[in-house]
Amino acid sequence: MNKIIYIFIIFFFFSSCTKDFEEINTNPNAPVDVQPSLLLRHILFDYGEQMSYEGYVAGDLLGQYMTEVDFNLFDRHSLTEPQLGGNPWVVLYTNLRNNEIILDKSRSNAAFAVYEGPALVLKAYMTAALTDIYGDVPYFNALNGKEGNVTPAYDAQEDIYQNENGILDNLSKGIAAMESYAGVTALEGDIFYNGDLQGWIKFANSLKIKSLMRISNKIDVADDLQKLFDDGNYIQTNAENAIYNFTNGQPNNFRMANLRDGDFNLFIMSETMEEILTNLNDPRQAIFFRPTGNDPTTFAGLLNGPDASTTSISVGDYSLGGTIFRTNTEDLDANYLTAWETHFLLAEAAEKGLIAANAQELYELGVTQAFAYWQTALPTDYLTNGNAAYGQNGNDKIEQILTQKWLSNITNGYEGWIEYRRTGFPQLKTIAASLNDDLIPVRMPYPGDEASLNRDNFNVAAAATNDNSVNAAVWWDE
C-alpha cells in the first residue's frame, strides 16, 4: 500500500511540474521577433562601435599605432590572453548571426525584400574581417543553429572568398538585388545612407575592390578591377563614405571616452608611429596624439611590447591619444569604408599594373581626402616636397601608398595589421619584450571557447595552423 501511495505522489509531482510549464515560464513581455529596420540599425551601430574600440585597444597594438605600457601581454604578442580587448570573434559572429536574420526575412517576406542587398553586403564585409583576422573559420554552415548545426566545420579562406555564397559572390548578388529592386518599401534603419540603395551599391563596389586586392597575390584580379575602375560606381568622395558619427556623450560616444583615466593612459604613441609621422612632417600628429605631459612642445612614442616589470615607464614622457578619442569624440567616425581607402587601393593596383590608371593621381587624391577626413589642413607642399611626394627622394611608391593608408586607418587597427601582413608595409618593428620569439603575428588564434564548444572541428583547424599558432599564415599571405 505504501508503495502505491509513493508512486502516486511521484506521478502527481511530475505531472504538476510539467502542467502548463511553457506558459508559466514564458515572459509575455519579451520580444519574440524584431523588425529588420531595428536590427539593421543595431548591427550597423554595434559592429562599428565594438570594432572601433577593438581596433584601438588591440588592433592598434598589432598594427603598431599604439603601445600599451602595462597589463600588456597582448602588446607583447601573447594573443591568447586578451585584456582590454583582443577577442573580436564574438563581435563578428554575433553580428553575422543577427545579419542572417535580416537576410532570412528579406527572402521569406516580400515586404522586406529591400533589405536583401544591404544584408548581403554586410555579410561580405563582416566575413572578410573575420577570415582576414583568423584565417579558416566556420562560415558556410556557421549560421544555421536553428537547423541543428551547432558545431560547424571550418571552411578554407580560399573558398570563403571565391565560392558560391562567399564574399565576392555575395557582393555581386547584393548589388544585383539592389539594382533590380522595384518595390516601394523604403530601407529603414540605415544610418549610413538614409535608405539610399545607390550609396550601398557604391559601398559594395568599393568592398569588391578591397577584396580583390586582398587576394591579388593569389588570383589574377586585373580584369575585374579594371571593370570596377572603368565603371566608376564606387565610393569616390568623402560624402559617400560608409561611416557614422560618434557623439560626444553616452550612449553613442567612442568607448575610449568612457574608460577611467588609468585605463586610457595605458595607450601611448608607438615608436613606429612617431618615426613615420616625423619622417613625413605630418600635421595629423596633433589630431592622433597629444604632446607629452612633461614637455608640451614634444611628441614621443615608445617601442611596442615593453616589459613593465623590468622597465620604468613614465606616461608623462610619451604622447597619449588625441582629444578626438577622449573628449571630442563627436569629431570621430565609426569607419567601415571610405573614399580615401578606395583610392589608395586603386593607386596600388595602378602602380602594380593591375589597372590602367594614373597611380600618382589616385595616391594624391587619397591623401587629400584622408586629410579632409581627419579635419586637418593639407600643407601646400606636402605632396610636392618631402617624403610624401610620390616617388621622390628615393621613396618606394608602393610603400608610400600603403603607409598613407595605414596612417588614416588608426581607428581600424586590425586593418593596418592585415595590410602589413599582405604587403610588408609600413615596416613594423621587432617589439621590446616579445612573448612570440620576436615574430610579428600573422593571424589571431581561435578563442579557447572553440576548443570546448566545437572541439572536433577546432582540432582539425588547430592542426592545420600548427596547433593554432599565431605564426601560421592565412591563405592569401602564404
Residue 122 in any domain: the answer is yes
| Residue 183 identity (one-letter amino acid) | G
Q: How far is CA 35 from CA 109, 183, 191, 196, in A?
A: 12, 18, 16, 19
Residue 86 in any domain: the answer is yes
Which pLDDT belongs to residue 308? Answer: 86
Distant-in-sequence, close-in-space partners of 204: CB < 8 Å, separation ≥ 6: 117, 121, 124, 171, 174, 175, 178
For residues 132 and 382, give the distance between their C-alpha atoms in angstroms, rounded to a whole number: 33
Residue 310 in any domain: the answer is no
Q: 473 lies in which domain range?
A: 36-250+331-477
Residue 288 in any domain: the answer is no
Which pLDDT belongs to residue 9? Answer: 44
**283 alpha carbon, distance to own chain's centre:** 26
Q: Which residue has the cell 551547432?
A: 150
Question: Strand pairing partners for 154?
Answer: 138
**DSSP three-state, residue 185:** coil
What DSSP element (H or E) covers 361?
helix 359-373
Which of 369, 194, 367 has the alpha carbon at shortest distance from 282?
367
Which pLDDT belongs to residue 146? Answer: 72
Asked whether 334 and 243 are in contact (CB, 8 A), the reply is yes
Residue 56 in any domain: the answer is yes
Give the count of domains, the chain. 1
Residue 273 in any domain: the answer is no
Compute the residue count for the chain. 478
Per-residue tens of pLDDT for the chain, all 478 residues: 444 444 444 444 445 555 555 555 555 544 557 899 999 999 999 999 999 999 999 999 999 999 999 999 999 999 998 889 999 999 999 999 999 999 999 999 999 999 999 999 999 999 999 999 999 999 999 987 777 788 999 999 999 999 999 999 999 999 999 999 999 999 999 999 999 999 999 999 999 999 999 999 999 999 999 999 999 999 999 999 999 999 998 889 999 999 999 999 999 999 999 999 999 999 999 999 999 999 999 999 999 999 988 888 999 999 999 999 999 999 999 999 999 999 999 999 999 999 999 999 999 999 999 999 999 999 999 999 999 999 998 999 999 999 999 999 999 999 999 999 999 999 999 999 999 999 999 999 999 999 999 999 999 999 999 999 999 999 999 9
Asked whether 235 and 228 are in contact (CB, 8 A), the reply is no
For residues 398 and 395, give the distance between their C-alpha atoms in angstroms, rounded to a whole number: 9
Phi, psi (degrees; rounded to nearest 5) at 320: -80, 170
Asked whether 350 and 358 are in contact (CB, 8 A), the reply is yes
For residues 385 and 138, give the distance between their C-alpha atoms in angstroms, rounded to a whole number: 48
Residue 18 in any domain: the answer is no
Neighbours of 404 (CB within 10 A): 25
Exposed (0-12), middle (13-18) or buried (19+): which is 362, by Cβ within 10 Å? Answer: buried
Which pLDDT belongs to residue 24? Answer: 53
Cell of 210: 578591397
Residue 292 in any domain: the answer is no
For residues 48 and 452, give the distance between their C-alpha atoms in angstroms, rounded to a whole number: 29
| Residue 35 identity (one-letter amino acid) | Q
**DSSP three-state, residue 336:** strand
Whole-prediction pTM:
0.93
The CATH number that applies at residue 448 is 1.25.40.390
For residues 51 and 20, give the distance between their C-alpha atoms in angstroms, rounded to a whole number: 44
Phi, psi (degrees; rounded to nearest 5) at 269: -60, 135
